[in-house]
Structure 1
Amino acid sequence: MKTYFATDNPIIFDNSEFYLGWSANPRSGYYVHEYFVDGEFPESYNRMFTINLLEGNITPKVAAELKANELDKRKQSDKICNYMTLNKGDEYVVDFLVSDAGDGNFTTVEWDIHYYKTVNINGKSYLQLLFFSQRAYGNDMIPFLKSIPEHRADKIEELTGMSLQVKKVFE
């Protein structure tokens, strides 16, 4: 696994340590690092923290609008899909819920908080997406869904208040 940028590892969030577990460079100027707690993996995680960096001029507002449009389309086939957007000045949050239904039965529910902001690294402008994803499977789905309202505001505040900083992009 390649490290595409320098930042904290582990990342401390939600009273847990998240370690780099997957990375990608899907195209020039676009970098993804996914972090997991010990014992969890990209294929079947309960909690994941991700940092995406996209070089260029896309604004946090445009990125949040694109995500909202994607979720609006998803609502046509995902009965659980729901979202809200928040903005804090030039920074945006998309807080959403999605599901996966196999054979008409829900198998997974996922709650994500995406936090978009512009950062300057190595003298270049990047759209930075920090996001926290939490999933539940099978019999754990209903208790998980019921627990979200009591944690939502705190997790959004923790994510948007993080001092996490990408120090360098390795090109």
Structure 2
Amino acid sequence: MNLKFLYIGALAAMNYFLPATTSEKIAFGTTTASLTPVFFGTKDYLMVPGPIEFMQKKYNLSYSAHPTAQYFQQEYIVKGELPEKYNEMVMVQLMLGDVKIQDAVAAKVKELQIRKENDPIVNFKVTNLPKSGEIVLEFTLSAGEGAARIAEWNVYRYHTYSQATTKQHGISLFGFSKRFYGKKADQLIKDAANGLGTVKTEFLKLQSPNVKPTH
């Protein structure tokens, strides 16, 4: 199972750094293992039409992708923002197949450790939540220089997915991403640390979507 599809939304999502256009996202996300079907746009593939309400804001479905039979990705932003230059984003993802949460998180952590050698903003924390069975990954990273600088904070909630009716299983991911832009982006993300801690606490209280994949 290709674990790179577990990295969604964000600078490191699907192994790309700065999401630009929908077609570019798909180009970086496809693999030689399965180039079809490739669907993208704003179709609700997971039966999570939105809006997703979080901290008195409504996040609407703005982008969706279904580049392989096993992988589904959807992104939600507030009205007036753009998927390629958002301030805050909610993400929902599903990967079907024989893949374990622990392996997905370990692969992401390894990627961050490698990235940290050249990205001073990179930091991460893994938390196991035995009561819910979730593993939570909180991390920061950055890209670009000067006016094009972006610093990003993310919290990913990994869940085991199983559907008795269809006998499908895999991993679902519910994430939140916050971006800071410009020459002062690095300082802005540091200054926002306390507030981001509150956001994380509230996001962990939010009910994860009950995803139901469709084609």
**TM-score, length-scaled by structure 2:** 0.72
Contact 1:115 1:159 in 2 (8 A): no
Deviation at 1:99, TM superposition (A): 0.7
Unpaired runs of 5+ in structure 2?
Answer: 1-40
* Letter in structure 2 aligned against 1:110: E
Deviation at 1:160, TM superposition (A): 2.7
Distance 2:86 2:65 in 1: 18
Pair 1:149 & 2:191 matched: no
Pair 1:161 & 2:193 matched: no
Contact 1:119 1:127 in 2 (8 A): yes
Pair 1:101 & 2:144 matched: yes
Pair 1:113 & 2:158 matched: no
Contact 1:35 1:49 in 2 (8 A): yes
Deviation at 1:162, TM superposition (A): 2.1
Percent of matched pairs sharing the same residue: 28
Instruction: Tell which has more relative contact order, 1 or 2 (C-alpha 8 A, sep 6+).
Output: 1
Q: How does 1:8-23 map to 2 (within 5 A)?
A: 8-23=49-64
Contact 1:61 1:91 in 2 (8 A): no
Contact 2:49 2:61 in 1 (8 A): no
Aligned partner (choices 123, 134, 148) of residue 178 of structure 2: 134
Pair 1:43 & 2:84 matched: yes
Q: Over the residues paired in the alignment, what is the CA RMSD in angstroms?
A: 2.0
Pair 1:5 & 2:49 matched: no
Contact 2:121 2:142 in 1 (8 A): yes
Deviation at 1:155, TM superposition (A): 2.6
* 1:101-139 CA-partner distances (Å, limit 9, x unpaired): 337x87110000011011224431130111100001125
* Letter in structure 1 aligned against 2:190: L
Structure 1 runs of 4+ off > 6 angstroms? none
Distance 2:110 2:92 in 1: 21
* Residue 129 of structure 2: aligned partner: 88
* Residue 71 of structure 1: aligned partner: 112
Alpha-carbon distance change, 110 to 149 in structure 1, aligned in 2, over 3 angstroms: same
Unpaired runs of 5+ in structure 1?
Answer: none
Deviation at 1:60, TM superposition (A): 1.6
* Residue 170 of structure 1: aligned partner: 214
Contact 1:99 1:106 in 2 (8 A): no
Alpha-carbon distance change, 29 to 93 in structure 1, aligned in 2, over 3 angstroms: same
Alpha-carbon distance change, 69 to 75 in structure 1, aligned in 2, over 3 angstroms: same
* Letter in structure 2 aligned against 1:95: E
* Residue 17 of structure 2: aligned partner: none
SS at match of 1:7: coil
